[in-house]
Structure 1
Amino acid sequence: MFRAAVLACLCASPALQASAQAPASTASAADPAFARCLSTLRQDAAGKGVGAASFDRFTAGLVPDRSVLALLDAQPEFTTPIWDYLAGLVDDERVADGRARLAEHAELLARIEARYGVDPATVVAVWGVESDYGRIFGKRPLLVSLATLSCEGRRQPFFRGEFITTLRLLQAGDIQAEGLTGSWAGAFGHTQFMPSTYERIAVDFDGDGRRDLVGNIPDALASTANYLKQSGWRSGQPWGFEVRVPQGFDASLAGRTSRRPLSEWAARGVRRFDGSPLVANGVAADTRSALLLPAGPRGPAFVVFRNYDAIYSYNAAESYALAIAFLAERLRGGNVPQAAWPTDDPGLSRALRRELQTLLLARGHDIGEVDGMIGTNTRRAIQAEQQRLGLQPADGRAGVRILEALRR
């Protein structure tokens, strides 16, 4: 599932949002190619359970938002250094908020665990990473984004399926068209399901007759647990743990799909981070496992099991899966990673990013709101200050080095 919305630019311009409400005739006249595409989609949707009246009602006035096309190849899970990505997602604020949610929804989460076998910390970690516990759903009109991606750019067949599925969900009454927003790629709700995942996995946990993952926390969290269960989650087993690898370890053996019995990693000199044996605490020697070196042999190392794969399936990016696993571990009172990332310029938490933005504003840079989100204007301002201060590389990256320089 696409999850770039949490860290990428989420907001459609007011003009684009207004244009989504324009009369159909206006939209067709302004963009005949898009109108022809919608006509084709109307025919496809008719064969997949969407009535003509429903299609016309939900697509009236749609005009494309071509800004989403540039984001197809810009997902932060793949373009951001892992220490930056994790610093913003697994910070003290998100941990404190997550612990508060664990306490607030303890009874609900216990019932979800009893039904689906997924522990509360993991469910809440997904919630925290996906939408900051319901604070950030994404601001792009969902149908506009999906219609655009259905008609232009690569992966059109995939997005056409998601667009038509959204129309089916609207027609069934699970979700409401008014104010329906999400990520540029179509993920939406508390835990950012893609429409096809919503249709396949969502559950009506509170029994009100609707599967509502936008306005209903019980449905959203239970559906997340159901997703993980359907992806192979094994109750009572860990996602993995941090380890140490011996000097000279063959890094080519690492990788999520390079599965070996835990005993084989032990025979190669891999130990838990505290120095204790790998095969301990109820984990059997023949347990299939993989070794991860997400920043290479000089960075933190982890042995991971089947539950890590279930998390990974939510959004197929190693940095994303580690963010969920790390946040869940911290919500349980753990501390990962303990080893340092191989950089002399670590990433910044959201609190430190806001401090950096405040310092940039004080120096006259027009970066907009102080929100802890490092967008284009903030990066340009950082680059200008790096050049002024003689810091290399002047790449616009928000790290400890530029923050400390501006503090001085």
Structure 2
Amino acid sequence: MTMQLFRVALVLVLTVLAGATAAQSVDRQFRTWLANDLWPEAQRRGISQATFNAAFTGVSPNLKLPDLVLPSEARPRGSVQHQAEFRAPAAYFKHVGGVVSGGRARLQRLQPALAAIEQRYGVPRGILLAIWGRESGFGGAKIPHDAFEVLGTKAFLATRKAMFREEVLAALEVVEKRGVAARAMRSSWAGAMGQPQFMPTSYLKYAVDGDGDGRADIWGSEADTLASIANYLAQHGWVKGRDWGFEVTVPDSVSCTLEGPDRGRRIADWQALGVRRVGGKAFPAHELRGEGFLMMPAGRFGPAFIVTPNFYRLKDYNESDLYALFVGHAGDRIMYGNAEFAGAWRPVSGFNRADVAALQRGLERLGHDVGGADGLAGFKTRRSIGAWQEKNGGQARCFPEIDTMRNLK
């Protein structure tokens, strides 16, 4: 072996040893934290020693998880980078067909359970199937992590320790009071559990028995999973009898700056402004009297929608316009065989999230509320872009563009 190769090998060995030593140190600190900090709090909340031991025996911190701050490090590991490519909304819907076909395949087989759940909670079965398919591939997706490994690690080391502390304590309560075995609690890397991907606090509030066996098994029971999703939406205010929304055409005379949940008006009033459902369809008569909201996830570069308050109940499940649109659209296609969106997603690219964040900061300097400079184009950012474009003599397009960025940086 040459001296150069020897030095390289020595560096590698020392790096591995240093990493192992650091991991052992973190593990010792984790054990001290469990015994002196988390256990006393768990005990005060009625958790038994047996439950606590069952949850954490053999569990060590998983240092591969994102958003951790190790004692010897200043910055989070695996945090989201603004240098990531900015993705146009069209990419989000690439796999909607799989959810649609999977939902249709289960409609008939699960008809009795779906009918009973829909009758009880008022949430359409297409919506339930779409969420189930989106969250866990109808239970087929691998749920790779031990929930206590994830939640314990994050409560000890994550950037949001307080939040995960509540979640790991809730998970202990699931074992203590709901009779779920600790090792049966499988989760995502973020701690979301089972087929509906509930955090432990959500499990305690919304998980229900849908198959009559006395347990709320969101890991193994299809009926429990569907009933729990329905209960979640109902408890958040799902309005029985109303749709989630409708794809529409928006004339140039209606500005995209009118978008947002704080700028609603009766659907009849939107219709009077010239907004029409696609394909020549009429709005249902009972919907005309209800409040609707303009939603244009790609501004003038993609399809447009009039959504109802139920759209925002879907956002309660996952705080994303595109998630709620995916679920509503997939639910319609599952139930009615509807086609893909009538409006085309036009390509918008050539920049990254850091560019969008710079654009947002430029708008903030001018007094616009963009909802935070996070590099994501939420509705506040979209309509702020449009307002700036109109003020400067252009047509509002309400979506990030290269020229707009250059002028606002």
Taking structure 1 as the reference length, the TM-score comes to 0.71
Per the alignment, residue 344 of structure 2 pairs with 340
Cα deviation for residue 292 of structure 1 reads 0.6
Matches within 5 A, 1:48-127: 48-70=45-67, 73=80, 80-88=87-95, 90-91=96-97, 93-127=98-132
The Cα shift of 1:79 comes to 6.7
Q: Which amino acid aligns with 2:345?
A: W
1:103 CA displacement = 1.2
Structure 1 residues 177 and 57 mapped into 2: Cα distance closer, same or farther (>3 Å)? closer
For residues 66 and 270 of structure 1, the distance between their equivalents in structure 2, rounded to whole angstroms, comes to 52
Among 318, 322, 326, the alignment partner of 1:323 is 326
Find the partner of 2:256 among 233, 251, 257.
251
1:304 aligns with 2:307: yes
Secondary structure in 2 aligned to 1:283? helix
The residue identity in structure 2 corresponding to 1:325 is G
CA deviations 1:342-388 (Å, max 9, x no partner) are: 1289xxxxxxxxxxxxxxxxxxxxxxxxxxxxxxxxxxxxxxxxxxx
Map 1:8-407 → 2, pairs under 5 A: 31-39=27-35, 40-70=37-67, 73=80, 80-88=87-95, 90-91=96-97, 93-247=98-252, 249-275=254-280, 280-332=283-335, 333-343=337-347
Which structure 2 segments of 5+ residues have no match? 1-22, 68-77, 350-409
Aligned-residue offset at 1:149 = 1.2
3-state secondary structure, aligned to 1:69: coil
AA aligned to 1:289 is G
Q: Is the 8 A contact 2:174 2:180 kept in 1?
A: yes
- 2:300 is paired with a residue whose SS is coil
Per the TM alignment, residue 306 of structure 1 is displaced from its structure 2 partner at its CA by 1.6
SS at 1:68 equivalent: coil
CA-to-aligned-CA distance 1:231-261 (integer Å, 9 cap, x gap): 1112221101000111253221112343222
CA-to-partner distance for each residue in 1:268-321, whole Å, 9 max, x for gaps?
3211112455xx422344411111110112210000002111111111111111
* Residues 263 and 293, structure 2, Cα contact 8 Å, conserved in 1: yes
Task: Note the C-alpha offset of 1:179.
Answer: 4.6
Change (3 A) 1:189 1:83: same
SS of the residue corresponding to residue 196 of structure 1 reads helix
- Shift of residue 46 of structure 1? 1.6
Q: Does structure 2 retain, via aligned residues, the 8 Å contact 1:260–1:289?
A: yes
User: SS where residue 151 of structure 2 aligns?
Assistant: helix
- CA contact under 8 A between 1:130 and 1:190: conserved in structure 2? yes
Q: Distance in 2 between matches of 1:124 and 1:276?
A: 25
The 8 Å contact of residues 50 and 171 in structure 1, kept in 2 or not, is answered as yes
Equivalent residues of 2:260, 2:294 under 8 A apart: yes
Mark the structure with the bigger radius of gyration. Answer: 2
Query: In structure 2, what is the Cα distance between the partners aligned to 1:72 and 1:232?
Result: 33
Closer, same or farther: CA 155–344 of 1 in aligned 2, 3 Å: closer
Q: Pick which of 106-115 and 171-180 moved more.
A: 171-180
Residues 116, 225 of structure 1: 8 Å contact kept: yes
Distance in 1 between residues matched to 2:92 and 2:181, nearest whole Å:
33
CA distance in 2, matches of 1:245, 1:59: 56
Cα deviation per residue 1:1-44 (whole Å; 9 max; x = unaligned)? xxxxxxxxxxxxxxxxxxxxxxxxxx976523322332311122
* Between 133-142 and 172-181, the greater mean CA deviation after superposition: 172-181
In structure 1, stretches of 5+ residues that fail to align are 1-26, 346-408
Q: Percent identity?
A: 35
- TM-score, with length taken from structure 2: 0.71
- In 2, Cα distance between equivalents of 1:38 and 1:315: 31
Would the alpha carbon gap of residues 212 and 255 (structure 1) be closer, same or farther in structure 2, given more than 3 Å must change? same
Deviation at 1:130, TM superposition (A): 0.6
For 1:80 and 1:203, how far apart are their aligned partners in 2? 37
SS of the equivalent of 1:148 reads: helix
Aligned partners of 1:327 and 1:235: how far apart in 2? 19
Distance 2:158 2:347 in 1: 36
Say if 1:293 and 1:301, in contact at 8 Å, map to a contact too: yes
Aligned residue pairs: how many?
314
Distance 1:100 1:276, change over 3 A: closer
Secondary structure of 1:289's aligned partner: strand
Structure 1 residues 284 and 192: CA distance shift in structure 2, 3 A: closer
Read off the aligned partner of 2:39 and give its amino acid letter: R
The DSSP-based 3-state class of the residue aligned with 2:298 is coil
Secondary structure of the residue aligned to 1:309 is helix
